[in-house]
Chain A
Amino acid sequence: MGSFIEFKDVKKIYKMGEVEIPALAGVDFQIKKGEFVVIAGASGAGKSTILNILGGMDSPTSGEIIVDGAKISDFNAKELTAYRRYDIGFVFQFYNLVQNLTVVENVELATEICHDPLDVLETVTNVGLFDRRDNFPAQLSGGEQQRVAIARALAKNPKLLLCDEPTGALDYNTGKAILKLLQDTCRQQNMTVIVITHNLALAPMGDKVIRVKSGRIASITENETPTPVESIEW
C-alpha cells in the first residue's frame, strides 16, 4: 500500500524584513490511508506549520506535498480552497463553531458546500449529540462543542481529518472522550486522522507518531499496537 500523504523536503521560511525565520527546514514523511497519526512537538517546533500546509491554509516555500495523488504544493489559492472544501475535515482547538447556528446547523454549514456529505443527523447521532441537536454552541459544554466540530468535519466525508490540539481546551476526561471518538472514527470508517498536539503522552495512541523539533522531523515511530485511549494517562 503506497503512501496516502507524502511530504518531500518541505520548507517554509517566513521573512520578517531582513530576517528569515525558517519554520520548516526540510520535512519528509509519509502517511498511509486510514492511519491515525499523532504529530507531536513543543510550541514553535513547526507542527502548526505542517498542519497549515497540509490543511491547504498555507503553501510551502519549497518542497512537494502529495495528498491522494494530488500535488497540493503546486495548487493556487482557488485550488487550495477546493481542496479544503472537499478533501479536508478540520477540528480546531477552540472548536470554532458558528455561535449563531445550532448543532445541526453548524454541521449543515459544512455539508452544504461539499459533493457527497454524510447524513447530518446520523453524524450528529454518531458523535452522541442527538439530544442536543437543536442547541446553540453557547449552551453546550466544551467537549460537546468539540464533538460538534468533529461532526462538522466528518459530515463532509473528507479524505483526511486534521485535528489541531483537539483536547487543548478540554478537561482530562472530556479530552479522553474526544480522542476516543477520533480513534474510533479512524478505525470504524478507515479515516486518515492526523492529530497535532504538544502532549507527548498522547503519542502511544497513534499508528504513527511524528515528532517535530525546530522545524525538522525529530523521529517517526510506527506503533504496531497503538494503545487504546482509555488506557492512556497523562
Chain B
Amino acid sequence: MRMLIKDTLREIRKSLGRFFSIFAIVAIGVAFFAGVKASAPIMKSTADSYFDDYNLMDIRLLSTLGFTEDDVKEIRAIPGVKGLFATHTLDVLVKQNTQEYVMKVLTLPDNLDPNNPDYMNQAVLIEGRLPENENECVIEAGKISHFDADIGTVLTLNSGTDDELSDVLKTTELTVVGKVNNPYYLSYQKGSSNIGSGSISGYLMIPESAFDQDIYTDIYLTIDNVKELNSYDDNYFDVIDPITDQLEALGKVRSKIRSEDVKNSAYHAYVDGWNAFYTSKNEADQQLAEAQKTLDRSFVDLMQGSADLDQQKRDFDLQIADAKRQLRDGRMQIANAWSTYDQQVLAFEKQKSEALAQIQDALDQVDEAKAKRQELVGNQEQLKLALSNPAMSEVEKQMAMAQLEQVEAGIAEIDESLADLEIPVDEVMSQLNEGEQQLLAGKAEIQQNEAALDQTEKELNKQIDDANQQFRDAQQTLDDGWTAYDKGVDELAKNRRITDEQLLDAMEELENAEADILEIEDCEWFVLDRESHYSYMDYGSAADRMGAIAEVFPLFFFLVAALICLTTMTRMVDEQRGTIGTLKALGYSKVKIAVKYLCYAFLSSFGGSVVGVLIGFAVFPTVIYTAWNIMYELPPVQLQFIPSFALQASLAAILITLGATIAAVYKELMETPALLMRPKAPKNGKRVFLERIPLIWKHLSFSKKVTVRNLIRYKKRFFMTVIGISGCTALLVAGFGIQDSIGDIVPKQFEEIQNYQVNIEFEKNLNVVEKEDIMKTVEQFSHVNDTMEIAQYNGTIDVKGKEQSVTIIVPTDVDRFKEFVSLRTRRSHTPVEITDDGAVISEKLANDLGVGIGDLIECENSDDLVKKIKVVGIVENYVGHYLYMSEAGYKATYGFTSKATNLFVKTDSTESQVEENLGNHITKIDGVSSVVFYSGTADSFADTIKSLGFVVVVLVISAALLAFVVLYNLTNVNISERIREIATIKVLGFYDNEVSTYVFRENLILSFIGAIAGLVLGTLLHRLIMSIAELDSVMFGRTILLQSYVLSVIITMFFSWLVAKVMHHKLKTIPMVESLKSVE
C-alpha cells in the first residue's frame, strides 16, 4: 500500500500538467457551483443582517380607518410584541426642477437611540444630520434614486389630491438636512402610489411630531426572538405567524368598534353630499337660467335699439330735407331780391343822373342869370356914376335914366327867375337822397336776409353733423351691445360645459360614494408581515432568481469537468497499460491497482475542490452581490462559508472524477495481464462519410484526411471539446446578448414606441376649457409639432402576489393616438387596435400575468376600483406596464367618464437646450403640474442599464477560463496520445508549422463546431439570464445582434488559436526519438 501511495505521488510529480488540468477544471466547476449557489443565501443573509442592524419592522399594521390610542394599547399588550411604533405614512408630491416626484414620507420617533426597540426602520445616515425639528427632513441617498436634492434645499410638499396637506402635516415646507439609507427601501423600485406619476420615486424622513393627526395610519412592530433568525427562512415565519394571527383576531374586534363612528359620519356626509349636490345643481341651473334670461333681455333691447335708431334716422332725414328745401327757397328769394335791387339801383342811377343834369342845367341857368345880373349890376353902377356926374347933359341924363331903368328892370327880372330857379334843386336832391336811402335800406334788408339764411344753413349743417354723430354713437352702443351679447352667449355655453362637467363629476362621485359607504362596513386591519413588504420581497425574489441561475449554470461546468476528467484519466490509464499489466501479473488485486488511479483522481479533485470552494465562496458571491447592488442599496456583502454547498460541490466533483477514473480503469482491469503487457491494438481507422464524395475527399491533403478521420474517431474528445467550447461561446453570446438586448430598450422604447417626447400633467380639477387653453398655449411654442390630451391614470395590478403599478392610458382620439404611441406586436410589428370591449396591455405585463388575448385581468384604477378587463391586444413595450383603453371602454369598465389628465407633446428636437427652454415655458403656464421630458428618463435609464456591463465582463472571463481549460486539456491529451505519430511525421521531415497545423487543425475545427453549437446554446442561455435578471417593470429585449454572434465565434476561435500558439512550443520540444520507442 505504501508503495502504491509513493507510486501515486511520483506519478503526480511526473505528470503535473495532467494533474493540474483535472485540478483546475474541478476547481472551476466547484467554484462556480458552490459560489453561484451560495450567492442567493448570502444575498439574503446580508440583507437580513442589514434588516436586523437597523431594526426593520417585522409586522406592519394598516387600518382602513387608522388606529386610535386605544388600539395601540391593545396591540402592545399582545405577548411577543417587542417594539411598537405607531406612526403615519403618507405619499406626497414634491416638485423639483420641472418634474414632480411622488415621495413616501416616513417618520422618525423622538427617541433616536439605536437601542430603542421602538425605533424601527432606522435611518442610516450617509451625509448631513438627522432632522431636529418639524421643519426639517432627510432624503434618500441613492446612487440611482430618481429624486435628489442638495442639503439645504427647501422642499414644498403637495398632497396630490383634493385634500390639503396642511390638514395632516404641521408644515409643508421642509429643509433637507441630510441623506440617509433605510432598510425599509432597498431598491429604487419602491412600489406604487395613487398620486402623481403613480410610482414612488423616493422617500423623506421627518420627525413623527411633524404630523398633526390623532389617528395613526401605520403601526410598526418588532417581535421578540426573531433577530437571530434569518427572515428569509421559514422558521422566522414560524415565530411571526402566531403573532400575526393574534393581531388579526384583535383587528376584527377593534375595527368593528372603530368603524361604527366612521360609518355613521360617512353616511351623514353622503346624505349631505346629495343635498349639496342638488343645492349646487339648482343654484347652477338658476344661475345659468338667469344668465340666459339676461342675455335674452339684452337681445330684445338691442333689437329695439336698432329699430329705434333706424326710425330716428328716417325722421331726421325727412326734417333735414324740409329744412334744406326752405333754405333753397330763401336763397331763391334773396337772389330775386338782389336782382330787383340791382334794377332799382340802375333806375335810381338813371334818375339821379337825369336829375343831376337838370340841376346842372338849372345851375347853369342860375350861373348865367347871375352873370347877366352881375353885368347888369355893373352897368347900373356905371350908369349911377355917370348920372352923379354933373357934367352930364340932361339928354344924356335922360338917356342914362332910361337905360338905368331898363337895367334895373333886367335885374329884377333876373332876380325873379333866380328865385324861381332855386326851389327844384333842393327838392331833387332831397328826392335823390331819399331814393338812395331807400336803396340802401333795401340792400341792407337783403343782406340781412342772406345772413339769416346762411346762419340757418350753418345751423342745419351742424344739426346734421350732430345728428350723424349721435347716430354713430348710438350705432356704436348697439354694436357694443351685440358684442357683449355674443360674448355672453359664449360665456354661457362655456359655463354650461364647466357646470355640466362639475355636476357630472359630483354625481359620479356621489354615486360611487354609495359603494364607498358599503365598503366602510368591510373596514379591517391589515396585518402585513415582511412577505408584504416590497423591498424584502423584491430583494428576496432577486436572490431567488439568482438561485435559479445557480441551479442551471454550474451544471454546465460540471458536465465539462466530468468530460475532461474522463478523457484525462482514460488517457492516463491507457498510457499505463503496461504498468497495470505488470502489477496484475505480479499479483496485485484489481482494487489495489485501481487505488493508485483513484488516489490520483482523488488527490487532484480534492485539491481542486478545496481551492474551488475557497475561491468560489470568495469570488462569486462578491461579484454577484455587487452586480445586484447596482440596483439595490445594501451594505457590503457578508461572505459566509456554507458547508452544505461546499460539501455538495466537492462531493459531486470528487465522485465524478472518481467515477470517470473507475470507468477508465475498469476496462483495462478486465483484460488479462498478458494482453495488457502487449501494446494496445490501435483503434481502427474508419472511413468517414466524406470519403464517399470523392470530389471533396480527393482534394484533401493527407493531413486534412487525418483530421477528418480523427474528429470522428475520438468521440469522447469530440464531445468534450464541442461541449466545452460551445459553453465558452454560449457565455460570450449571452454576455454580448445582454448588452444587445438591454442596449436595445432605450431607443426602442423612447424612439420607436413612444413617439412623443414630453408629457405634461395638468393640475387636478382643471376644467375642460382650461385644459384646452393649456393645449393651445403649448401648441404655439416653437419645436412643438403636435399635442394630444390623454387620460392617464395610475392603476395597480396584482402580479403573482406583488402589487405592480400600471399606467392606464385613455386617449381622447384612438386613431390619432397612433401618431403618439406605436401600438404594435413585437415580432411582426402588426398594428394593434384599441377596441371598446377591453384593454390593450403591454407585453411584459401579459407575460408576467401569464395571460393572452381574450383572457380577463383584474386592474385597480386610481379610484381604488377593482374591475375585470378583457385583454384585446398585447403590444410591444419595454419600460413600465401599460393598459390602453378607449373612452367607451373605460367608461364601460369603471363607470367613470375618463377625463384628460395629461398632454402628450411631440417635439422636433430633444436637444437639452431646446428642452430646457421649452420646460421653462411650459412650467410657467398656469394649471401645469409637472412636465416630463423622456430624453432625460431615457438617459438615466440608459445609465442604470449600462452598469450591467459588469455581468458581461464576468461572463467573458468565465468563457475564457472555460475555453483555456478545455482546449489546453484537449491538446494535452491529443498530443500525449499521438506523440509517436507526431514524432514520426517530424522524422519524416515535417516542418514545425506543418506539425502544428497537422495537430491543431483538429482543435480549430472542433472549436468551430463547438462555437456553432454554442450559438444555439448561448441563445438559450441568454433567454434564461434575461428572464431571470429582468426587472419587474422593464422588459428586456430578446435580441442578439448578428455581430455579437460573429464576435463570439471570433473570440472563441481566438482562444483556440491562443492555446494552439502556446502548445506549439510543446510540439516543438517533442523528441523525435519518441518515434523509435515501442508502443506502450
Contacts and interface: CB of A to CB of B under 8 A. Distances in A.
B683 A93 contact: no
B801 interface: no
Contacts of A93: 1076, 1078
Interface string A49-91: 0011001011000000000000000000010011111101010
Contacts of B986: 81, 84
B988 to A, nearest CB: 6
Nearest to A114: B989
B990 A139 contact: no
B985 A138 contact: no
Contacts of B701: 112
B992 to A, nearest CB: 8
B989 A96 contact: no
Nearest to B707: A100
B683 to A, nearest CB: 7
Given A94-B1079, A96-B984, A101-B705, A57 B683 contact: no
A109 interface: yes
A173 interface: no
For the residues of B in contact with A, the DSSP-based class is helix
Interface in B956-1003: 980-981, 983-992, 994
B990 A81 contact: yes
A83 B703 CA distance: 21
Interface in A91-125: 92-94, 96, 98-102, 105, 108-110, 112-114
Given A96-B980, A99-B683, A137-B682, A109 B702 contact: yes
A35 B703 CA distance: 34
Contact of B685 (A96, A100, A110): A100
Contacts of A164: 1076
A3 to B, nearest CB: 24
A110 B989 CA distance: 9
A99 B685 contact: yes
A4 interface: no
Given A84-B988, A114-B989, A100 B994 contact: no
Contacts of B703: 109
B709 interface: yes
Contacts of B992: 81
Contact of B710 (A78, A100, A105, A109): A100
Interface in B697-728: 701-703, 705-706, 709-710, 713
A48 interface: yes
Contacts of A108: 702
A136 interface: yes
Contacts of B1075: 92, 96
A55 B987 CA distance: 8
B574 to A, nearest CB: 14
Nearest to B684: A138
B1042 interface: no
B126 interface: no
A60 B78 CA distance: 98
Interface centre among A90, A139, A152 (most CB of B within 10 A): A90
A117 to B, nearest CB: 12
B395 interface: no
A99 B682 contact: yes
A112 B702 contact: yes
B429 interface: no
A44 to B, nearest CB: 14
A113 B710 contact: no
A109 B681 contact: no
A93 B706 CA distance: 22
A105 B990 CA distance: 16
A113 B994 contact: yes
A51 B683 CA distance: 30
Contacts of B713: 100
Q: Could you say which interface size class chain A belongs to?
A: 35 or more
Interface in B196-235: none
B1072 interface: yes
B1073 interface: yes
Nearest to B1068: A77
Nearest to A82: B989
B684 A86 contact: no
Q: Could you say which interface size class chain B belongs to?
A: 20 to 34
Nearest to B995: A81
Contacts of A110: 988
Contact of A58 (B683, B702, B1073): B1073
B673 to A, nearest CB: 20
B149 to A, nearest CB: 74
Interface in B1021-1080: 1072-1073, 1075-1079
Contacts of A84: 986-989
B822 to A, nearest CB: 59
Nearest to A52: B1073
Nearest to B702: A109
B990 A113 contact: yes
B1078 A136 contact: no
Given A105-B702, A108-B702, A100 B990 contact: no
A136 to B, nearest CB: 3
B987 A105 contact: no
A101 B684 CA distance: 10
B685 A101 contact: yes
A105 B705 contact: yes
A99 B705 CA distance: 12
Nearest to B994: A113
B817 to A, nearest CB: 69
B989 A113 contact: yes
A206 to B, nearest CB: 21
Contacts of B1072: 52, 57-58
A11 B705 CA distance: 41
Given A101-B705, A138-B681, A57 B987 contact: yes
B991 A81 contact: yes
A88 to B, nearest CB: 7
Contacts of B994: 113
A138 B984 contact: no
B683 A138 contact: yes
Interface centre among A48, A98, A101, A102 (most CB of B within 10 A): A98
A152 B987 CA distance: 12
Interface centre among B681, B713, B1076 (most CB of A within 10 A): B1076
Contacts of B1073: 52, 57-58
Contacts of B989: 81-86, 88, 113-114
Nearest to B712: A100
Contacts of B980: 94, 96
B988 A113 contact: yes
A78 B988 contact: no
Contact of B706 (A98, A113, A114): A98
Contacts of A57: 987, 1072-1073
Interface centre among B683, B703, B987, B994 (most CB of A within 10 A): B987
A180 to B, nearest CB: 23
Nearest to B683: A99
B11 to A, nearest CB: 22
A88 B1075 CA distance: 15
A234 B730 CA distance: 64
B684 A136 contact: yes
A52 B1079 CA distance: 19
A123 to B, nearest CB: 15
Contacts of B709: 100-101
Contacts of A105: 702, 705
The 6 residue pairs across chains A and B that have the minimum distance between CB atoms:
A85-B989, A136-B685, A84-B989, A96-B984, A57-B1072, A100-B709
17 contacts: A57-B1072, A84-B988, A84-B989, A85-B988, A86-B989, A88-B989, A93-B1078, A94-B1078, A96-B1075, A98-B702, A100-B709, A100-B710, A100-B713, A102-B685, A105-B702, A137-B682, A169-B1078
Given A98-B984, A100-B709, A109-B703, 18 more contacts: A48-B1076, A52-B1072, A58-B1073, A78-B991, A82-B989, A84-B987, A85-B990, A85-B991, A86-B989, A92-B984, A93-B1076, A100-B706, A105-B705, A108-B702, A113-B990, A113-B994, A114-B989, A138-B683
